[in-house]
Amino acid sequence: GAVVSQHPSWVICKSGTSVKIECRSLDFQATTMFWYRQFPKQSLMLMATSNEGSKATYEQGVEKDKFLINHASLTLSTLTVTSAHPEDSSFYICSAPTGDTQYFGPGTRLTVL
């Protein structure tokens, strides 16, 4: 099956700093990618849709100025958590569709101290 990678797999940062998370489709191109957030023992909540060549679409309640998304190429989307705070600590997961199926990255665990 298709492979989606994320980097880094985990990151610890100080409050107030920014953190960038990369999502790559390794063996296929994706004009659209999705970013999810997963709290402990909870489901995945869709944060935004990343669109290659255009602005991302954010779900209701997600601050677009805090979670900056850039879809730089057909295989790369980045999520930047700006001015991170402890409440932003979470597991961030990206996905990319190919055909009729979505493939998920392994996730990035962000801890903000």
Partner 1 sequence: AQSVSQHNHHVILSEAASLELGCNYSYGGTVNLFWYVQYPGQHLQLLLKYFSGDPLVKGIKGFEAEFIKSKFSFNLRKPSVQWSDTAEYFCAVNGPLSGGYNKLIFGAGTRLAVHP
Residue 95 makes contact with partner 1 by CB under 8 A: yes
The helix or strand, by DSSP H or E, that contains position 68, with its residue range, turns out to be strand 67-73
Q: Among residues 20, 76, 97, 111, which is the contact residue for partner 1, using CB under 8 A?
A: 97
Task: Among 11, 28, 104, 111, indicate the residue that binds partner 1 (CB under 8 A).
Answer: 104
Q: What is the distance between the alpha carbons of residues 113 and 107, in angstroms, rounded to a whole number?
A: 19
**How much of the chain is helix, strand and coil, in % rounded to 5?**
5, 55, 40
Which C-beta is closer to partner 1: that of 86 or that of 99? 99
Contacts of partner 1 in 13-52 (CB under 8 A): 32, 34, 41-46, 49
Phi, psi of 88 (to 5 degrees): -85, -5
65 contacts partner 1 (rule: CB under 8 A)? no
Based on C-alpha coordinates, what's the Rg of the chain?
13
Please give the residue ranges that form the binding site for partner 1 (CB under 8 A): 1, 32, 34, 41-46, 49, 93, 95, 97, 100-107
